[in-house]
């Protein structure tokens, strides 16, 4: 199923249960959310799109591998419901040889990833070390079926005239054992959206943005000066809002926000405002 919704002049939002056309990125294996298009060209690069759930089980991350879609029109508003199947984990391996086996190496890998995101002074050193190990061993990121599966439902309501998307996240019914955090990602491409600005006066460009820093301002935006576009989110009660941008070769190329909340909260609702700046 493929849904494309025209919004502002020349812009549209696309949701598909097919792999992304940018299939050189490892995240092509994941089920993505709404991708932003300008004149038919995808702007998401490696980003997973707007409104994609991710589950944390301690240091392990569970990603969506597919979803079931239903859609209906409500006048100028297009409503889409997606039931995400959370069933994939990130692995490393060599193409043609499969993934590296052994729980210890993934404990180390996931712990280092957490350090990179949460301790800014260590990011440069750890990222360099990680990239070096990948080159030495020929490792690439891949996603495989997890020994775990559950579902998270999202309802997207897109106003075609204003470019505003409302997203309701329903994480009720998650297994009570093991799920420590729910994250909802909202990403587009890092090369396209390379400028961050918020209501507190913060203005950051490219590497200054960081890969996972909390946002406390009243609103925050990622901006594409080259395309004259921006998308904006606001913090929510009960959830933490993080910003990030990573651009590493053909492996990472995303800019965006993530809402993080405990599974006990069960439901959140938020708004994404997409706008033209020219």
Query: Domain of 36: which CATH number?
Result: 2.70.98
User: 140 lies in a domain?
Assistant: no
Backbone angles phi, psi at 113, to 5 degrees: -60, -40
Mean pLDDT of the 249-271 span? 95
Q: Is 121 among the domain residues? A: no
3-class DSSP state of 143? strand
Domain that holds residue 253: 2-88+153-276
- 120 in any annotated domain: no
For range 210-214, the mean pLDDT: 94
Per-range mean pLDDT, top range of 8-12, 56-60, 91-95, 241-245: 241-245
Q: Is residue 145 part of a domain?
A: no
Any domain includes 124: no
Query: Domain for residue 169, yes or no?
Result: yes
Which of 23, 92, 30 lies closest to 62, judged by CA? 30
d(CA 151, CA 156): 16
Please report whether residue 107 resides in a domain: no
Q: Are 109 and 89 in contact (CB under 8 A)?
A: no
- Residue 197 CA to residue 202 CA, distance in Å, equals 6
Number of domains in the chain: 1
pLDDT of 92 reads: 84
Q: Is 12 inside any structural domain? A: yes
- Tokens representing 7 are 């919004």
């Amino acid at each position: 199923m493929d849904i494309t919704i025209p919004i502002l002049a020349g812009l549209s939002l696309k949701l598909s249960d097919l792999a992304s056309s940018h299939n050189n990125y490892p995240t092509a294996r994941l089920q993505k959310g709404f991708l932003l298009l300008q004149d038919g060209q995808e702007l998401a690069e490696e980003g997973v799109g707007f409104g994609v759930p991710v589950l944390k089980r301690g240091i392990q991350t569970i990603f969506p591998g597919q979803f079931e879609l239903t859609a209906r029109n409500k006048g100028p508003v297009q409503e889409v419901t997606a039931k995400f199947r959370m069933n994939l984990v990130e692995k490393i391996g060599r193409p043609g040889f499969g993934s590296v086996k052994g729980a210890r190496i993934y404990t180390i890998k996931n712990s280092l990833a957490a350090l990179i995101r949460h301790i800014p002074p260590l990011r440069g050193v750890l990222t360099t070390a990680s990239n070096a190990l990948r080159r030495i061993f020929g490792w690439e990121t891949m996603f495989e079926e997890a020994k775990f599966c559950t579902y998270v439902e999202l309802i997207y309501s897109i106003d075609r005239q204003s470019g505003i998307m409302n997203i309701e996240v329903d994480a009720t019914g998650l297994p009570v054992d093991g799920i420590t955090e729910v994250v909802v990602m909202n990403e587009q491409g890092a090369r396209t959206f390379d400028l961050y600005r918020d209501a507190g006066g913060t203005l950051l460009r490219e590497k200054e943005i960081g890969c996972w820093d909390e946002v406390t301002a009243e609103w925050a935006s990622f901006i594409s000066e080259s395309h004259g576009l921006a998308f904006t989110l606001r913090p929510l009660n009960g959830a933490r809002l993080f910003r990030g941008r990573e651009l590493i070769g053909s492996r990472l190329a995303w800019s965006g926000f993530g809402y993080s909340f405990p599974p006990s909260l069960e439901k959140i609702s938020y708004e994404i405002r997409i706008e033209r700046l020219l």
